[in-house]
Amino acid sequence: MTAPSDSRIAEILGPHRVALDRCDAVLLDTLRDRLAIIATISKLKHTHQIAVMQHGRIDEIQQKLRTYAAQNDISADLLINIYDLIIGEACRLEDRYIAGLSQSGGDPQNETAAG
């Protein structure tokens, strides 16, 4: 059996690649929206002197990921690794945002670096 041509591959996989691209767009938009919420959470943590890292929250998220993974036949390690990256970025943004709030007297509008 010979391998299909590039045009045949595109014909076979095209609709599925379009579906993947749609999923990727939703995933990226959701990630953007999730990270945008960090600014609000950061301001609340700054206002109420709450530590950036909330270990109980991470445990809660990881348990939800394990449950979701088991129910959907997805690797729990995969989900936890992805969320470790997301949580790491959220903490980085919170640190940067809170530092900006401290420097600007608590007004995020005065802090341009945090966006």
pLDDT at 33: 96
pLDDT at 52: 81
pTM to 2 decimals? 0.76
Q: Catalogue all structural domains in the chain, each as residue range(s) with its CATH number.
A: 6-110 (1.20.59.10)
pLDDT at 106: 59
10-residue block means of pLDDT along the chain (115 residues)? 93 96 98 92 88 87 98 98 94 86 62 37
Q: Quick one: three-class SS letters along 16-64?
A: HHHHHHHHHHHHHHHHHHHHHHHHHHHHHHHHCCCCCCCHHHHHHHHHH
* Residue with the two structure tokens 């041509």: 5
Are the beta carbons of 93 and 38 closer than 8 angstroms? yes
